[in-house]
Structure 1
Amino acid sequence: MPHDAPLRPLRAGAPAAPLSGTHRVPGDKSISHRALMFGALAIGTTEIEGLLEGEDVLRTAAAMRALGARVDQRGPGSWSVAGRGIGGLVEPADILDMGNSGTAARLLCGLLAGHPIFSVMTGDASLRRRPMLRVTGPLSAIGASFWTREGGRLPLAVRGAIDPLPLDYRLPVASAQVKSACLLAGLCARGTTRVVEPEPTRDHTENMLRHFGATVRVEDTGEGRVIELEGQPELRAAPILVPGDPSSAAFPLVAALLVPGSHLTLANIGLNPLRTGLFATLREMGAELRVENARVEGGEPVGDLVVTHGPLHAVEVPPERAPSMIDEYPILAVAAAAAKGITRMRGLAELRVKESDRLAATAALLAANGIEARIEGDDLLVQGTGGAIPGGGTVATHMDHRLAMSALVMGLAARNPVAVDDAGFIETSFPGFAALMNRAAGGEAIVAA
C-alpha cells in the first residue's frame, strides 16, 4: 500500500446467515518471504506455488530482483526464482523499500550482512518506527557495518562483511526474525554458525534450509534450543508449495466460533507445531476445532481445519506459548471477549514492538466495543461476556493489518457494528480478506464505512 494512500474505513456487522462453506486463505507469509530469499541464494531455478501475493511479499520479490536474482510471476500464486548462489547477490542500484514488512526488513538485514555490498533499506511510516537493533547488534559481529536513525530505526544502511565470520549468539528473547537473520548471515560465513533461542520459535528457516540442501542441526538443551548451520553450503533450487497461512486462518476461524450456527472448513492450512499456539488455546477454551486430511508437504505439516460455533470459556495462556502465536493475540482477545470469565494472556512484551504497540492497541480495541480489558505488566486480561459482544465502536488501526482484521471479526459477532478507521493495510498480508468473509457469510457483512 502506498505510504500516502487515502484511508479506507470499513464496517462489519452481524451476517444474515451463519458462516459456512470451504475456503482457502492466502499462502503463508513467513514461508513466502523465505521461499523468495532462499530461491535467490540457490543455484538453479526454484518453482514456487501458492505464494502469498500481498504487498509485504511483493516487496521481498522486488528486493530480490534488485539484488540480481531473476524473479518472475508465471500465474496466480505461481512464481519462479533464478538464484545467484551463496555470496552471489549484487549491489542494488536504488534504495530497497520494504513497505510495512518487519519480517522482510529483518531477514534482509541478515542476508545483506553476509554479502560484501552496500545497500540502503527503508519502509513505510509504521516500519520506520520499528526497532532494528535486535538484528543489527548481533549481525555486526559477522563483520557487517550498519548505520541507522536514532533508536536503531529505518532508514538503514549496511555494508556487508568482506569475509563474514560465523556467529555464536544467544537470543535474549525468543524471536524467529532475529534467529533467521543470524542464520541467513551465517550462510556466507566459513565454519559453523550457532544460535541459541530461549524458547522454540517458528522453524520455517531451518526447514527450508534443509529443503535446499544445507546442513542444519537442532538440539533442545538445558540452555535452550540450539541451532547449528554449516556455512557456505551450495544451496540447490527446490520446488516449494506454500500452505495457507495459519495466522490468516485465525480470522475466519474465530469468526466461525463466534457467529451462531457457523460451520466452516479452511483448506490446506500450515500446521507447523511452532505456529499453532492459537489453535491449542482455542481448544482449551472449548472450541470445536479439528484437523482433517493431515499430510506433510515440502517439509511442513498441512491439513484442513474444520470449525463449528460453540461457547467458549476463559483460560490462562502461559508466557512460553507466546512465540507460537505472537501474531494471533489480537484475534484471541476477540475470542476472549465472547468467552465466559476472565482470560489472562501472559508474557506479551513482544507485542509492544509490532506494527503498532499491539498490546495497548488491542486493549483499546476491546474497550472501544464495551469489553473490559486491562494491562498488568506484560499481561493482558480480558473480561468476557459469555455471549454477545456489545460492539458499536470505531477502532484506530495504527497501520496494523491484524488489528484491523480482528476488529472486523468482532463486528461480525457483536450486537452493534464495529468500524475501523483504515483497512487498507490488510492487503499486506491477507489480500481479499473482506471478500472471503462475505462469501462465507453469504452476503455483505463487511462493507465500506
Structure 2
Amino acid sequence: MSSHGDPIPMTSSACGPLSGVAEVPGDKSISHRSLILGAMAVGETTITGLLEGQDVLDTGKAMQAFGAEVINHGGGSWSVHGVGVGGFAEPDQVIDCGNSGTGVRLIMGAMATSPISVTFTGDASLNGRPMARVTDPLALFGCQAVGRAGGRLPMTLVGAADPVPVRYTVPVPSAQVKSAVLLAGLNAPGETVVIEEEATRDHTERMLAGFGAEISTEVTEEGRVITLKGQPELKPQHIDVPRDPSSAAFPVCAALIVPGSDVLVPNIGLNPTRAGLFTTLREMGADLVYENEREEGGEPVADLRARFSPDLKGIEVPAERAASMIDEYPVLSVVASFASGETHMPGVKELRVKESDRIDAMAVGLRAAGVTVEDGPDWWTVTGLGHGNVPGGVTCASHLDHRIAMSFLVMGMATQKPMSVDDGGPIATSFPIFEALMGGLGADIQRGG
C-alpha cells in the first residue's frame, strides 16, 4: 500500500529511443533545508524551484505548526516568514512527516534545543525506521525522547530548556545525523562541533553559512571537523533550488540502457558530496557529459547529456564514494545488470536502513528478473548480462520505497519482458512528475495490475 492511499501497480515495457529534455524537480535535500532554515531566520525567505513532493510539503506543514508562515505562491515559488532561532512554538497537533526520514530527523534537530514538546509520526515505512541515531546525540544537548521499542516512531521529544553545546563524532556516514546536530546547535550557547570521518553531503553547512551563521570546516586527522557558533540571528535569504541529482539519476540511467537514446537533463546540482553516481557511470563507460558548467547559489551546477551506452563494463565502486551516492545505488544496480562483468559495491550498510532494506529489495527483484546478485551486510555485487540480455518479466515489491519503484520501472524500459512494481504510489514523495516526464521522453509506463 502506498504511503498516501491505495496501491498503484505500474508496468514498464521496452520502448524506442528516449529523447528530449528532462526537467527534473528541485533538489529534495536543499528543499527541506530551505524551509527549515527559513523558519529559523528572522524575516522573509523566498524560495524558487522548491520540490513540491509530499516529503517536502510535509516539512512545510511542520514549519507552519511551529509558528512560521509558509506560503505557496505557485510554480515552485514559496516564501517563509521565520520566527528566529529559538522561536519555535509548541505545535497543537502531532507532526506527521509521512515517508520522509530526512524531514523528521532534521526537524527533530531543529526543535531539540527549544523548550517545547513535539510528537512525531509517519507512514508505515517511516515508523519502522530507527531514530536513535538522531535522538542519542540530541540527548547530549539535554533533549529527551520517548518512543516505541527500538527507538521508532511515534515518538515524543521534549526539547532542552537549558541546552549545552556538544562535541559529537558521527559514528556512521549520515548527512541527516550531522545536520540534526548542527540544527540543534543553533540554539545552544557556545560552539557545537561535529566530526565526520567520511564526508557526507554538505548542503546544511553551505546553507547555514548563507543564512549568516558562523560555521567553519577543517580537515584534520580526526576527519572533517565542523564548528558552529550558537545562537546567531539568521538572516533571510533568496534560495534558487537546483534540480535534484537523485531524481536526475532515473532519466540519465534510462538513457544509458535504452538503444538510440539521447537525453538532456538541465540545471543539475553537482555538489561533490552528491555526484558520485555520475562519476561511477562514466567509469563504467557511460556516454555522459557535463555541459554548461557553472555555479548557482553556492552550488556547482551543469546540464547532463546522457546517450545510449551499449558497452558498459562492471567496476569496483570505491567504498569511500558511498556517502556521495547512497540514494542512487538501486538504479546503479539496474545499469550494472546491463553491463558486462561484475559491479561490486562495498561500504553500503546504510542502504539497509533506508525507506526499505534497499539491498535486499533490489537483490530479490533483480534475481527474479534473471540477474545474479550476491550480497552481505555492507556490500553487494551485480553480475551484468550485457545489453539486450536481461530477461525481466516479473512483478517486484516496492516496499513503500520510491527509489525501488522507479529503479525497477527504469529497468523495464530495456528488459526482454516488461517489469512491474506492486505499488508506484510512493514515487510521489520525491518525484511526483516521474511518469509524465519519462513518458514525454518516450517511455512506456502504464498503471494497473
Alpha-carbon distance in structure 2 between the residues aligned to 1:92 and 1:224? 38
Aligned residue in 2 for 1:421: 422
**For the Cα contact (< 8 Å) 1:12–1:447, is it kept in 2?**
no
Aligned residue in 2 for 1:131: 130
Aligned residue in 2 for 1:318: 318
Aligned residue in 1 for 2:282: 283
Aligned residue in 2 for 1:260: 259
- Letter aligned with residue 340 of structure 2: K
Alpha-carbon distance in structure 1 between the residues aligned to 2:426 and 2:339? 28
Alpha-carbon distance in structure 2 between the residues aligned to 1:97 and 1:298? 30
Alpha-carbon distance in structure 1 between the residues aligned to 2:138 and 2:34? 22
Question: Structure 1: which 4+ aligned runs deviate by more than 2 Å?
Answer: 1-4, 443-449
Structure 2 SS opposite 1:139: helix
Aligned residue in 2 for 1:176: 175
| Mapping 1:183-262, distance limit 5 Å | 183-262=182-261
Alpha-carbon distance in structure 2 between the residues aligned to 1:320 and 1:378? 13
Q: Does 1:292 align with 2:295?
A: no
CA deviations 1:247-291 (Å, max 9, x no partner) are 000001000000000000001111101000100100100011111
Aligned residue in 2 for 1:119: 118
Aligned residue in 2 for 1:409: 410
Alpha-carbon distance in structure 1 between the residues aligned to 2:385 and 2:173? 33
**For the Cα contact (< 8 Å) 2:68–2:82, is it kept in 1?**
yes
Farther-moved stretch of structure 1 (163-172 vs 65-74): 163-172
Cα distance, 1:107 vs structure 2: 0.7
Aligned residue in 1 for 2:385: 385
Structure 2 SS opposite 1:90: coil
Alpha-carbon distance in structure 2 between the residues aligned to 1:405 and 1:392? 16
Structure 1 SS opposite 2:123: coil
**For the Cα contact (< 8 Å) 2:3–2:425, is it kept in 1?**
no
CA 1:377–1:99: 2 relative to 1, 3 Å:
closer
Fraction of identical pairs, as percent? 56
Q: What stretches of structure 1 of length at least 5 have no aligned partner?
A: none
Aligned residue in 1 for 2:395: 394
Structure 1 SS opposite 2:352: helix
Cα distance, 1:377 vs structure 2: 3.6
Cα distance, 1:446 vs structure 2: 4.1
CA deviations 1:388-419 (Å, max 9, x no partner) are 22110110010000000000000001111000
Cα distance, 1:191 vs structure 2: 0.6
- Letter aligned with residue 108 of structure 1: I
**For the Cα contact (< 8 Å) 1:144–1:160, is it kept in 2?**
yes
Aligned residue in 2 for 1:141: 140
Aligned residue in 2 for 1:33: 32
Cα distance, 1:146 vs structure 2: 0.7
CA deviations 1:372-391 (Å, max 9, x no partner) are 10113421111101112211
Structure 2 SS opposite 1:51: coil
Aligned residue in 2 for 1:270: 269
CA deviations 1:295-320 (Å, max 9, x no partner) are 11111111110111112100011211
**For the Cα contact (< 8 Å) 1:438–1:446, is it kept in 2?**
no
Alpha-carbon distance in structure 2 between the residues aligned to 1:205 and 1:63? 18
Q: Does 1:434 align with 2:438?
A: no
Alpha-carbon distance in structure 1 between the residues aligned to 2:446 and 2:4? 24
CA deviations 1:331-376 (Å, max 9, x no partner) are 0000000000011000111011000111111101211211010113
Alpha-carbon distance in structure 2 between the residues aligned to 1:415 and 1:365? 15
Aligned residue in 2 for 1:332: 332
RMSD, aligned CA: 1.1
Cα distance, 1:3 vs structure 2: 4.5
Normalised TM-score (structure 2): 0.98
Q: Does 1:48 align with 2:74?
A: no
Q: Does 1:364 align with 2:364?
A: yes
Structure 2 SS opposite 1:147: strand
| Mapping 1:22-171, distance limit 5 Å | 22-171=21-170
- Letter aligned with residue 422 of structure 2: D
Aligned residue in 1 for 2:346: 346
Alpha-carbon distance in structure 1 between the residues aligned to 2:143 and 2:414? 50
Cα distance, 1:2 vs structure 2: 7.2
**For the Cα contact (< 8 Å) 2:10–2:445, is it kept in 1?**
no
Count of aligned residue pairs for this structure pair? 447
Structure 2 SS opposite 1:391: coil
Normalised TM-score (structure 1): 0.98
Alpha-carbon distance in structure 2 between the residues aligned to 1:369 and 1:199? 35
Structure 1 SS opposite 2:42: coil
Q: Does 1:302 align with 2:298?
A: no
Structure 2 SS opposite 1:31: helix
